[in-house]
Amino acid sequence: MKASRNSDYVANPGIGVGSLHSWGIAVDATLVDSWGRPVLMPSDFDDFTPAAMWRYAGSSAEIRAHVRLLQYAMYKAGFWGLRTEWWHFTIADWQKYLPPEKAKIAGKVLGTRWDGRL
């Protein structure tokens, strides 16, 4: 297997910011039924095909409903989704959990503006 160089999916430890997961401010989530079994979702985790996109528009109404339910539940819990991964969620005010120098680097990596204030 060849390593991915796409920073949309893989954190670069060489620049010192690591992953939002490693800082404890991002999670990967899915839904399960009342028996604890995963429900149908657009793709598996870490599947970087078009089916993994946040705005899943596939033909299955059931899967679309599952994605919308997960997104709504995570939004209500204070998390934002990632456009390229239906399963990835970052806490909305993530900057306040990182030291300012790491937040600035993370903001550049994530393509978000970070000026040191919330």
Q: Note down pLDDT in tens along the chain; length 118 residues.
A: 455 555 555 555 555 556 777 778 889 999 999 999 999 999 988 888 889 888 888 889 999 999 999 999 999 999 998 888 999 999 988 888 887 777 776 666 565 544 444 3
| Half-sphere exposure at residue 88, Cβ-oriented, CA atoms within 13 angstroms | 18
Q: State how far the Cα of 48 lies from the Cα of 9, in Å rounded to an integer.
A: 8
DSSP at 85:
E
Domain chopping of the chain, boundaries: 26-110
Instruction: Please give the radius of gyration of the chain, using alpha carbons only, rounded to the nearest integer.
Output: 15
The H or E element spanning position 61 is: helix 61-76
For domain 26-110, give the CATH number: 3.30.1380.10
CA angle 47, 49, 54 (to 5 degrees): 85
Longest Cα–Cα distance in the chain = 45
pTM of the prediction? 0.74
